Structure 1
Amino acid sequence: MQLSAAIQDRVHAFLGGNPDEAVLRWIFRSAVMVTAVALAADLAGMNGWIGRPDPAAEVRRDTPSPDLPSLLPQVPLPAIPDGDKRLTPRPQADGLMAKPMTFELVGGGRLMATGTITPGISEAFAAEIAKRGDYIKTVVLNSPGGSVTDALAMGRLIRDKNFATEIESGKYCASSCPLVFAGGVERRVGDKAILGVHQVAAVGHAGAVPRDEMNVAQNISARCQRHLGDMGINLQVWVHAMETPHDKLFVFKPEELKSLNLVTTAAVPPAAAPRPVPGKVRS
């Protein structure tokens, strides 16, 4: 833009009538004033005294902040087909199933293990085996699952003792219970029995860092995979577990039980309720 002739004359007159030092002082004071005005504007904007544009307003709500790590996986999990009848709501345990697991030795060398795998129950199981191991041939499971650590210990002890495992017709073994079932040298599942899995969950304490809980869950998952592999189970079983939300249950079809080597032999046909062994009481 061209300055008017009058303004140009005034500027020339000012510069001509002032020594160099005075001109420099004038320039310095002008720069200081401009800087002060800019700092005041920034301060007012930071404290909300005046409006200022918000760069975040241009970012979509579902776009993660580049400065903060996302707490959700960035890689999409495999989708589970809608309407898959194997994916069912996780059963809510009640009655005996909601109580800590109990053990009862009945005829035919069958140890009935019924109820929730609560923390520390593997020690009670080991004590039961120590007392009655000579009589036990098969551990019969009916459980909604529970403590993964205890389930792993129970499954390992079953394998060490060369016991068989079984799920009777119409009964179920869910969540961590299949880890116990996997320990059997022979594994049988009755007609209409349910064997199902889902994701493991790390139960953290208040104030726990999310990534620490994730480390715990990943460590548990690795132990479960190693256990299944050691027991001769196809690791596709654990893939199904990791694909299934914790509030759901992936139920294996009969042909899958065989193809994944979860089942090694046909189940014994349903029979009359077995009688407890005389002199043996429930633990």
Structure 2
Amino acid sequence: MSENAHIREPEGRIRRWLNSRPDEHVLLWSFRGLLVATFVVLGLDLADLQKQIPADTDPVFPGLMAPDDVPYLPSIREGRTGPVVTDPETAATLRNPATFELVDGGKLLFDGAIEPGSARRFAEEIEKRGGYIDTVVLNSPGGSVADALVIATLIREAGFNTEIGPGSYCASSCPLVFAGGRERVAAPTASIGVHRVFAADEAAGTPASGMDNAQAVSAECQRFLMEMGVDPRVWIHAMETPKDELFYFTPDELIDLKLATRIAKTG
């Protein structure tokens, strides 16, 4: 057998394999390959960022989680109090680690807190069901900023839209995930708020290094928002707001600052 024949044989097997499968299978494998490559690159970027953190701190930058007694934070602005969640089941959903559920219409429901490891679980979810997802619907009090940035980037790379439904809550690092959507739709009654981030060692009593880490994360967040076409004033509001309060955006502000591309119609 000639050398050229040896070369053509594997090429022929690959061509026959592709021809024997529907287009959707080929697209699914292509999507999975793109997803793996994206996650590897994001992992390397995150590893570089984590090198800036002292060894005795949490290796993942956390955002502020809602206090245990309430699943929401008060507004820094008079007249924008945010949702008052009194239903125990709803409150528990917001405090629990994020869950993902694919429902009709290509919507992936993203409910709960963003914890270290949430990005990995989200990547696994869209690797399995990414071909059926059109929109990621958010209801979260936020949490790990690093995980939120990875999730947001995966959403953008996959071309998903994001949505925050009527009466839903998207706070702390959750708006970063929202910003990852190509189309970003918010209900008029959705509560979307930001505040400054803090690092784990700040809570442990070392505010100097905590401030350094928080500034590094803030720079990453600001850079990401600008890459998504969001007005950097969004993060200015975050940095001006104490960690135990939220700056809730009005629907007009969401559009003006380009955080949302559209406000959903009511009725």
Q: Please give the residue correspondences for 1:1-283 in structure 2 after superposition, counting only pairs within 5 Å.
A: 84-86=78-80, 94-204=91-201, 209-267=206-264
Deviates more, 1:225-234 or 1:196-205: 196-205
Separation (CA, whole Å) in 1 of partners of 2:155 and 2:231: 19
Larger fraction in helix: 2
Structure 2: segments with no counterpart, 5+ residues: 1-74
CA deviation after TM superposition for structure 1 residue 210, in Å = 3.1
Distance 1:198 1:233 in 2: 16
Give the distance between the partners of 2:213 and 2:85, measured in 1 at CA: 25
In 1: Cα distance, 2:76 partner to 2:194 partner:
18
Which deviations, in whole Å up to 9, do the C-alpha atoms of 1:128-180 show, x marking residues without a partner? Answer: 01000000000000000000000000000000001000000111101100000
Which segments of structure 1 move beyond 4 Å, counting only runs of 4 or more?
87-93, 205-209
CA contact (8 A) 2:95 2:112 kept: yes
Gaps of 5+ in 1: 1-80, 271-283
Give the share of equivalent positions with the same residue, in percent. Answer: 52
Instruction: State the 1:262 CA deviation.
Output: 1.0
**Do 2:192 and 2:248's aligned partners in 1 also have CA atoms closer than 8 Å?**
yes
SS at match of 2:97: coil
For 1:224 and 1:192, how far apart are their aligned partners in 2? 25
Q: Which moved more, 1:219-228 or 1:203-212?
A: 203-212
Q: Distance in 1 between matches of 2:147 and 2:253?
A: 26
Q: 1:207 to 1:259 in 2, by over 3 A?
A: closer
Aligned-pair RMSD on alpha carbons?
Answer: 2.5
- Contact (CA 8 Å) 2:76, 2:246: kept in 1 or not? no
Shift of 1:209: 4.3
Deviation at 1:211, TM superposition (A): 1.9
Provide the C-alpha distance between the structure 2 equivalents of 1:89 and 1:241, rounded to a whole number of angstroms.
Answer: 19
Change (3 A) 1:90 1:227: farther
Give the TM-score normalised by structure 2: 0.66
Structure 1 85/123 Cα, relative in aligned 2: closer, same or farther at 3 Å?
same
Q: Which residue matches 2:22?
A: none
Change (3 A) 1:91 1:212: farther
What is the TM-score when the length of structure 1 is the normalising length? 0.62
Work out the number of aligned pairs and report it: 190
Q: Over residues 64-108 of structure 1, what are the superposed CA-to-partner deviations in whole Å (9 max), with x where a residue is unaligned? A: xxxxxxxxxxxxxxxxx9863236699898311111000000000
